[in-house]
Chain A
Amino acid sequence: MTPEFQKDIYYHMALARAVDDRMWILNRQGRAPVVYSSNGHEAAQVGSAFALNRGEDWIVPYYRDLALVLAYGMTPREVMLHLLGKAEDPNSGGRQMPAHWGLHRRHIMTTGSVVATQDIHAAGLALASKVLKDGRVSVAYFGEGSTSQGEFHEALNFASVHKLPVIFFCENNGYAISVPARKQMAVMDVAARAAGYGMPGVIVDGNDPLKVYEVTKLARERALAGDGPTLIEAKTYRFVPHSSDDDDRVYRSREEVAEWKKRDPLVTFEKYLLDNQILSSEELAAMQQKIKDAVNDATDYAEKAALPDPSTLGLYVYHQ
């Protein structure tokens, strides 16, 4: 892995955190109705994205995946247009709630709100790849809570029976809104479920982007070799409430959050890059300035952009 590659991973993690922070500010100022955050998940998302053929392989994200879609080529402007429901929002033209990603240009699959539906879509995208031999791998992203859904299990089973080139990537942050993992499943690890479907289940430190990169790369190679799917469980934590309408103090202790904060992936990865002289403090400062400019530009651009015209309400119900 080259220094440039590692710096690029860091850049996208830091960019995501900065965009995220700005979204919360906009929300608290009353300028953005709702925010769903990737804060804390950046290593899992960016590390896995960098193991893919970005823009060619399909990703099927869920609402937590801001850092993922940024790493996959969505621009900060596009994210902000989506947040503010502007006409130019390429995810949905202002039709969907924020964090409902979808960008055909970058092979980011469109997503709804019902969890685990996307797991089956990833299997289907991969089914087409198998038939068409297009060399693409598809990756479904989801939280551990959604693994209680039947469609999660149907997706794993279907994909494994047909040895589809797909990766199931669980971002296990321990909570489905307020419900802890121990009330979600009677096993310790989501990865254990892979055994029931005849596929490997891999646990990885979701706060270490390089480890996540490695396991995702192996899963991708396995998929391309025709050996079928892999279930990856990235153990991580979200540092903020589920959404801007949630209050996590009701269900998590401040001590627990503080303990995880010590392992903030952005802080630890930055330290690793500096300590190993992969990144200089001058480069870091320049990168931070670049990110600040990008976030300001995105915010200004999106706030000035036009809202959708009500006359467009009936468009695209069907092909036109």
Chain B
Amino acid sequence: MAVMTYLEAIRETLRQELRRDDRMIIYGEDVGVRGGVFRVTEGLQAEFGEDRVIDSPLAEAAIVGTAIGAAINGLRPVPEIEFADFIFPAINQIVQEAARIRYRSNGDFGVPLVIRAPFGGGVHGALYHSQSVEALFAHVPGLKVVIPGTPYDAKGLLASAIQDEDPVLYFEHKAAYRSLKGEVPDERYLIPIGKADVKRQGKDLSIITYGLMVSYAQRAAETLEKEGISVEIVDLRSVRPLDVEAILETAKKTGKVLIVHEDNLTGGIGGEVSALIAEHALFYLDAPIMRLAGPDVPAMPYSPPLEHAFMVTPDKIAEAARKLAKF
């Protein structure tokens, strides 16, 4: 078992899966010689050759669209979209094609495809290198949307995504790439898509979150522990499908729920999670459901004070949780 960064865990999983399955290919902008703009795929082209780790033209619709065709003709494509913000030219291929192909063909065709994309802010990426786009895709039946919050989960979820018979969007938080470290087993293991994980047991309130916010929530929980507030943290890990059981279980257990995400508030995952709790666990609640999310501005600004004002931070999480605990 080695200690790895979140980024290394993803890279080593890609390497392990490429070794395991000849049908798997990786491609996207700069993924070959350069090893990706974040170095996630560094060294993979040298090991697996230009036929399996491919520098593609700079055209996202073509990247995803060809991956759909390649998947149907027998490959297991794992294309990368360089930044989640650049996924929009491919949205027609993802939503209208990849997501609908099994359904529209009545099960005759399937698209085993994993689209990896770095997302999220806090890295001076501004409007077009910071976005969280998961809620847009989580709305679409036929897609699965996975967002790991730890190096360990990054590996097990990626292996599951690659093995999955349906299109999976795998969003990696770019601020997590090098800041998050953890123990990652060498051997292959699978974490089921659609299964949340209780990252911390607590009794006073629950924070339901995912991605980078899991580690931020953990930092907030440590602060709050010293103040005598016991926080439970549920890491969703997949935002479609949601682990309804785990969401309801923690809501019933603590009776107070704070949902945290970096994505914009309105229409975000928090709305769906709170609707589930309101529908199925209302009478277990001791306080109104609270959401802490990116504000409803079009995207994250560049200049540091503006960026900071947008970002959800451990301090902001602690503050919200304190308020909820006191209710």
Residues of A within 8 A of B (CB): 58, 60, 89-96, 100, 102-104, 109-110, 112, 114, 117, 120-132, 134, 136, 138, 150-151, 154-155, 157-158, 161-162, 315-320
Given A110-B109, A158-B59: A128 and B103 interface contact (C-beta under 8 Å):
no
Give, as a whole number of angstroms, the nearest-CB distance from B170 to chain A. 16
Binding site for A on B (CB under 8 A): 23, 25, 51-52, 54, 56-57, 59, 61-62, 65-75, 77, 89, 92-93, 96-97, 100-110, 141-142, 144, 164-166
CB pair B92–A114 under 8 Å, yes or no, is yes
Q: Please determine whether A157 and B108 come into contact, CB atoms closer than 8 angstroms.
A: no
Contacting residue for A102 out of B52, B56, B77, B104, CB 8 A: B104
B107 contacts across to A, CB distance below 8 A: 93, 315-316, 320
Can you give 20 A-B contacts (C-beta < 8 A)?
A93-B107, A96-B104, A102-B108, A109-B109, A114-B92, A124-B67, A124-B70, A124-B72, A125-B72, A125-B73, A126-B73, A127-B69, A128-B72, A131-B75, A132-B23, A157-B57, A157-B62, A158-B57, A161-B57, A317-B102
Q: Is the CB of A319 within 8 A of B102?
A: yes
In the complex, A128 Cα to B69 Cα: how many Å?
Answer: 8
Question: Chain A residues with Cβ under 8 A from B164's Cβ?
Answer: 319
**Cβ–Cβ contact A120 & B106, under 8 A:** no
A121–B100 contact, CB under 8 A?
Answer: no
Closest-by-CB residue of B relative to A140 is B69
Report yes or no: A151 in contact with B62, Cβ–Cβ below 8 A. Answer: yes
A150–B61 touching, CB < 8 Å: yes
* A199 shortest CB reach to chain B, Å: 14
| Inter-subunit contact B62/A158 (CB<8 Å) | yes
Do A131 and B25 touch (CB < 8 A)? yes
Measured between C-beta atoms, what is the minimum distance from B169 to chain A in Å?
Answer: 14
- Contact present for A112 and B65 (CB under 8 Å): no
In the bound complex, residues from chain B placing their C-beta under 8 Å from that of A91 are 105, 108
B69: which of A102, A112, A123, A161 is its contact (CB, 8 Å)? A123
Nearest CB of A to B179, in Å: 34
Q: Are B105 and A125 closer than 8 Å at their CB atoms?
A: no
- Given the complex of chains A and B, what is the CA–CA distance between A157 and B226 in angstroms? 60
Contacts of B52 in A (CB 8 A): 131
Contact present for A120 and B61 (CB under 8 Å): yes
Q: CB distance B108 to A151 under 8 Å? A: no
Complex Cα–Cα for A19 and B141 (A): 35
If A92-B106, A112-B96 touch, whether A128 touches B59 (CB-CB below 8 Å) is no
| Given A90-B106, A120-B68; 7 other pairs, CB 8 A cutoff | A102-B109, A121-B66, A123-B66, A127-B69, A155-B62, A158-B62, A319-B166
Asked if A316 contacts B70 (CB within 8 A), the reply is no
Assembly CA distance A114 to B90 (angstroms): 13
Set A93, A117, A138: member contacting B96, Cβ < 8 A? A117
Query: Which chain A residues border B141 with CB–CB below 8 Å?
Result: 317
List residues of chain B with CB within 8 A of the CB of A93: 106-107
What residues on B are CB-neighbors of A92 within 8 Å? Answer: 104-106
Query: Closest CB-CB distance, B71 to chain A, in whole Å?
Result: 8
Measured between beta carbons, the chain A residues less than 8 angstroms from B73 are 58, 124-126, 128-129, 132, 134, 136, 138
B102 pairs with A318, CB closer than 8 A:
yes
Q: Judging by beta carbons under 8 Å apart, are A317 and B104 in contact?
A: no
Do A117 and B97 form a contact, CB below 8 Å, given A127-B69, A318-B166? yes
- Residues of A contacting B68 in the complex (Cβ-Cβ under 8 angstroms): 120-121, 124
| Interchain CA distance A259-B61 in the complex, whole Å | 40
- Chain A residue numbers with a CB within 8 Å of B56 are 158
Pick from A109, A315, A319: contact of B72, CB under 8 Å = A109
A120 & B69 in contact (Cβ 8 Å cutoff): yes
Contact in complex: A112, B75 (CB < 8 Å): no
Q: Which residues of A contact B106 (CB under 8 A)?
A: 89-90, 92-95, 315-316
Q: Which residue of chain A lies nearest to B112 when distances are taken between CB atoms in the complex?
A: A319
Which B residues lie within 8 Å of A121 (CB)? 65-66, 68-69, 72, 97
Report whether A120 and B108 are in contact in the complex, using a CB–CB cutoff of 8 Å: no
CB distance from A143 to the nearest CB of B (A): 18
Distance in angstroms from A229 CB to nearest chain B CB is 13
B residues in contact with A127, CB < 8 Å: 66, 69-70, 75
Knowing A131-B25, A134-B74, A319-B102 touch, does A124 contact B66 (C-beta < 8 A)? Answer: yes
